[in-house]
């Protein structure tokens, strides 16, 4: 099939894209004829992924850097501005915090602030900066959450608190941006066999966890939904029932 002209292809931005869930989502989008802006801290894996994504015939812009840094966010905005619009923003980049996990009373406040900057402040900053481009396309924002946001798991306090804040922020933004036709959802992808999950349990065997590809049926479904009908909801990508009440 001949690739669609660049002007007709939707544009997606995926953060934390070099591996794990972010790479899985980026591959799905590239195969579905999206142009992509992919962002991650690790430049070598990101470059390898970008080369793979380009084999689908679309434009791929790679930005190596930390989304908590303003200069990286400026580079992201510049990449989107060149197209003048944005169809999908996936805020997937996340910070776990101390490894191995430890009780909340043993977290340094610097570590907590770092987790909040990456997991809450950076997604909001990107939404603020990119909202005009999303509005032009009645776009969708997907904020990646976690079951730790509601689970109160020992050792996961700082990370869980950041994801709980992101959940509430997602619902609030959905209400605030409704008149701009920008939809916002939160997605708990479930336990997965990823580098972050391994960092939470160093030295332990996590081979019983599914790979991020287990979430592909959910993503294929979500991307086909009318944005206005799903905005404000929190989804569970590996649940028998994906949706939860807004």
pLDDT for position 2: 43
86 backbone dihedrals φ, ψ, rounded to 5°: -150, 130
Residues annotated as part of the active site: 159
Average pLDDT over residues 62-90: 97
Q: What is the pLDDT of residues 159-195, one digit of tens each?
A: 999 999 999 999 999 999 999 999 999 999 977 666 6
Average pLDDT over residues 118-133: 98
Residue 196: pLDDT over 70: no
Least confident of 98-102, 108-112, 131-135, 140-144: 98-102
Query: Token pair for residue 158?
Result: 């700082």
pLDDT for position 111: 95
Percent of the chain with pLDDT over 70: 87
Residue 61: pLDDT over 50: yes
Q: Which band of pLDDT confidence, cut at 50, 70 and 90, is reported for residue 204? A: low
Q: Name the β-bridge partners of 188.
A: 236
Residue 245: pLDDT over 50: no
Residue 149: pLDDT over 80: yes
Q: How far is CA 171 from CA 79, 179, 212, 227, in A?
A: 27, 14, 25, 14
Q: What is the pLDDT of residues 5-36, one digit of tens each?
A: 566 799 999 999 999 999 999 999 999 999 99
pLDDT for position 191: 73
Q: Which band of pLDDT confidence, cut at 50, 70 and 90, is reported for residue 203? A: low
pLDDT for position 246: 41
Average pLDDT over residues 79-98: 95
Q: How far is CA 132 from CA 7, 81, 155, 231, in A?
A: 18, 10, 38, 17
**3.40.50.720, 3.40.50.300, 3.10.350.10, 3.90.1580.10: which CATH number matches 6-240?**
3.40.50.720
pLDDT for position 142: 98
* Dihedral angle computed from the Cα positions of residues 64, 66, 70 and 71, in that order, rounded to the nearest 10 degrees: -20
């Amino acid at each position: 099939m001949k690739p669609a002209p660049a002007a007709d292809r939707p544009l997606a931005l995926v953060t934390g894209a070099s591996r794990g869930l972010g790479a899985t989502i980026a591959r799905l989008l590239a195969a579905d004829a999206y142009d992509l802006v992919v962002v991650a801290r690790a430049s070598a894996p990101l470059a390898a992924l970008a080369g793979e994504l380009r084999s689908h015939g679309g434009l791929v812009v790679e930005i190596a850097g930390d989304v908590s840094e303003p200069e990286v966010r400026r580079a992201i905005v510049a990449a989107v501005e060149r197209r003048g619009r944005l169809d999908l923003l996936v805020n997937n980049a996340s910070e776990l915090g101390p490894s191995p996990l430890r009780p909340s009373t043993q977290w340094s406040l610097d570590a907590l602030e770092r987790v909040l900057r990456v997991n809450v402040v950076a997604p909001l900053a990107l939404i603020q900066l990119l909202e005009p481009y999303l509005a032009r396309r009645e776009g969708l924002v997907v904020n990646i959450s976690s079951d730790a946001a509601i689970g109160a798991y020992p050792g996961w306090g700082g990370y869980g608190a950041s994801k709980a804040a992101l959940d509430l922020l997602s619902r609030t933004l959905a209400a605030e941006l409704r008149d701009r036709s920008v939809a916002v959802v939160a997605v708990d992808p479930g336990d997965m066999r990823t580098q972050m999950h391994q960092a939470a349990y160093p030295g332990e065997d996590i081979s019983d966890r599914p790979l991020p590809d287990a979430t592909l049926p959910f993503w294929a479904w979500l991307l086909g939904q009318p944005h206005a009908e799903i905005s404000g909801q929190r989804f569970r990508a590996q649940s028998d029932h994906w949706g939860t009440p807004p």
